């Protein structure tokens, strides 16, 4: 027998051995149900037949391992976008983001159809500072096309040594041309509560950027400091919060609703679990507003929806993302693993957080505007009730009590951010002014003229109308960047939010209403008017 023939027979034998093993497993698993056993047996037999004929007749030699892995991935991909196959290295990569630090650009991504899409920029990172935003589609990395490339391969291309540069080319909805961002890689450290401070009107502000292993302790520290300062109310900002650890979401909710209260149930075909708060907490009687948007997902939706359900907070902003499915990681015998969707989240009122159209979009299936409209209407026809009997709407994310629209940045503003003009101008300005700047500098006409000349030198053109519509944003951004370099991120952030329409609208509610009950009454009137 010739070597090639012997190899071919050995390969076919190994395929048949694999098939026999699969058949044995299927037979054992379904022995108690003869109709199911017969069906799974015949389907695996069909798989074996296709595999054998492919190996025997394909024009070139094929790898058994690659074929089987492709079959496994195809099987998992036929379910939902969150059920995946992992190598050992990929699993390590997958779990890194909940530990508090990693290297890269500072974006959380997912594959939507053929495109690697930004789910959320991470606050305080290079990508966030340059204006990359949720929904941006990454089409090139350093000039290399990544459309159709896997998420893992794209991550490898974008990550690199700290201090090195990468060019990300994105397609942004509503903008016809591709946009290049030149970004310097940094060591990304995730601070789950990056900002907390008392505002001028006496209310406190806490920004939660992600639910990682430090969130509960960070939140407790922030609450303690603010309450010592005598706050009269609180805004908890969960916009662009992609979620994170479920136990941290439950424990942070615990801080506001007290001991042994139902936060969330996970319901699936084979298992149901209920998660309750675990400890006594301080009674907080001041009004609380939870600020959310379309990029608030998963654990952040559980937090916002739970405070809404227990009547402990007024939710304002835009409808949340609707990521309410639960995944379990299961090890495989070869050291790899699979992540399987096992259940959905249901918060205390009975609402399911998950938005089914997201699964279709994330797997590249077509979803029409009519489909989305019908889903939204169906959701609002599902009425649930909070602990005090307020009506809330169910299914597909969390619907705010009061809707506040986002700000839309002009193309001129986008260009200024993506080309890092504010950062670079501030560096040059402070060098020429001995790094002297107050915490609240005034942007004079002279500074504005100087900045616009600087922008034109970076090949950024604009019209009088562009300048008129963007002037307030430019002045705030110059001031914020100057202050950042002398007085730090917190003082800079306080300036930048002066142009944040959603936040300013939320702040104004404290000026109009003294109690949460008054806010609830206003929210009911608001719903009737809409």
Q: Which residues are catalytic?
A: 298, 309, 323
Using CB atoms within 10 Å of the CB of residue 30, give its burial: 0 to 12 exposed, 13 to 18 middle, 19+ buried. Answer: middle
Do β-strands 391-393 and 84-86 pair in parallel, antiparallel, or remain unpaired? Answer: unpaired
Could you tell me if 406 and 318 are in contact, meaning their C-beta atoms sit under 8 angstroms apart?
yes
Secondary structure class of 34 (helix, strand, coil): helix
DSSP code per residue over 267-313: E-SS-EEEEE--S------S-EEEEE-TT--THHHHHHHHHHHTTS-
| Dist. CA 309–CA 392, nearest whole Å | 8
Pick the closest to residue 250 from 303, 292, 291 (CA basis).
303
- For residue 492, give the H/E element and its range: helix 489-496
Could you tell me if 118 and 109 are in contact, meaning their C-beta atoms sit under 8 angstroms apart?
yes
Token pair listed for 91 = 């699993």
Could you tell me if 326 and 266 are in contact, meaning their C-beta atoms sit under 8 angstroms apart?
yes
Token pair listed for 407 = 């700000």
Token pair listed for 7 = 């190899």
Token pair listed for 27 = 């037979």
Runs of H (alpha helix) within 193-289: 215-228, 246-257
The crossing angle, in degrees rounded to 10, of helices 64-77 and 34-57 is 140
For 85, 321, 401, the CA distances from 332, given in Å and listed in that order, are: 10, 32, 45
| Dist. CA 300–CA 125, nearest whole Å | 20
Could you tell me if 295 and 240 are in contact, meaning their C-beta atoms sit under 8 angstroms apart?
yes
Q: φ and ψ at 402, to 5 degrees?
A: -135, 125
C-alpha R_g of the chain: 27
Give the number of C-alpha atoms closer than 13 A to the C-alpha of residue 267, restricted to the C-beta side. 11
* CA distance between the termini of the chain: 82
Using CB atoms within 10 Å of the CB of residue 415, give its burial: 0 to 12 exposed, 13 to 18 middle, 19+ buried. Answer: buried
Could you tell me if 421 and 460 are in contact, meaning their C-beta atoms sit under 8 angstroms apart?
yes
């Amino acid at each position: 027998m010739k070597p090639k023939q012997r190899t071919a027979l050995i390969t076919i034998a190994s395929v048949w051995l694999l098939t026999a093993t699969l058949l044995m497993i299927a037979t054992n698993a379904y022995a108690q149900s003869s109709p199911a056993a017969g069906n799974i047996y015949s389907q695996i037999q069909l798989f074996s037949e296709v595999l054998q004929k492919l190996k025997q007749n394909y024009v070139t030699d094929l790898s058994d391992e690659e074929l089987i892995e492709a079959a496994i991935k195809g099987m998992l991909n036929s379910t939902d976008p969150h059920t995946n196959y992992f190598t050992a290295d990929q699993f390590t990569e997958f779990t890194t983001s909940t530990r508090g630090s990693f290297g890269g650009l500072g974006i959380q991504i997912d594959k939507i159809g053929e495109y690697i899409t930004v789910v959320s920029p991470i606050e305080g990172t290079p990508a966030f500072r340059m204006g990359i935003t949720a929904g941006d589609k990454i089409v090139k990395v350093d000039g290399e096309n990544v459309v159709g490339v896997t998420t893992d391969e794209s991550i490898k291309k974008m990550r690199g040594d700290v201090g090195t540069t990468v060019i990300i080319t994105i397609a942004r909805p509503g903008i016809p041309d591709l946009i290049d961002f030149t970004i310097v890689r940094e060591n990304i450290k995730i601070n789950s509560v990056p900002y907390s401070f008392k505002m001028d009107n006496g209310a406190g502000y806490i920004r939660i950027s992600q639910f990682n292993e430090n969130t509960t302790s960070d939140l407790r520290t922030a609450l303690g400091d603010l309450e010592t300062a005598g706050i009269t109310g609180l805004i908890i900002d969960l916009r662009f919060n992609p979620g994170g650890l479920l136990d941290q979401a439950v424990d942070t909710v615990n801080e506001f609703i007290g001991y042994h209260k139902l936060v969330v149930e996970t319901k699936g075909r084979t298992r149901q679990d209920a998660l309750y708060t675990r400890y006594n907490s301080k009674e907080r009687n001041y009004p609380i507003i939870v600020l959310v948007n379309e990029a608030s997902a998963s654990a952040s939706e559980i937090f916002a929806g739970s405070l809404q359900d227990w009547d402990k907070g007024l939710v304002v902003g835009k409808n949340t993302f609707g990521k309410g499915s639960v995944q379990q990681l299961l090890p495989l015998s070869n050291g790899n693993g699979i992540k399987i969707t096992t259940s959905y989240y249901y918060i205390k009122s009975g609402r399911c957080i998950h938005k089914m159209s997201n699964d279709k979009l994330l797997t590249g299936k077509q979803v029409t505007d009519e489909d989305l409209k019908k889903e939204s209407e169906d959701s609002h026809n599902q009425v649930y009730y909070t602990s005090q009997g307020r009506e809330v709407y169910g299914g597909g994310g969390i619907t705010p009590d009061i809707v506040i629209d986002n700000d839309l940045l002009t193309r001129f503003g986008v260009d200024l951010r993506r080309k890092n003009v504010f950062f670079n101008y501030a560096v040059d300005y402070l060098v020429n002014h001995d790094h002297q700047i107050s915490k609240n500098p005034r942007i004079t006409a002279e500074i504005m003229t100087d900045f616009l000349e600087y922008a034109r030198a970076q090949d950024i053109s604009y019209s009088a109308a562009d300048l008129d519509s963007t002037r307030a944003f430019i002045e705030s951004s110059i001031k914020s960047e100057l202050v950042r370099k002398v007085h730090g991120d917190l003082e800079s952030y306080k300036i930048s939010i002066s142009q944040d329409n959603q936040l300013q609208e939320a702040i104004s509610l404290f000026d109009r209403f003294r109690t949460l009950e008054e806010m609830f009454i206003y929210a009911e009137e608001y719903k009737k008017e809409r």
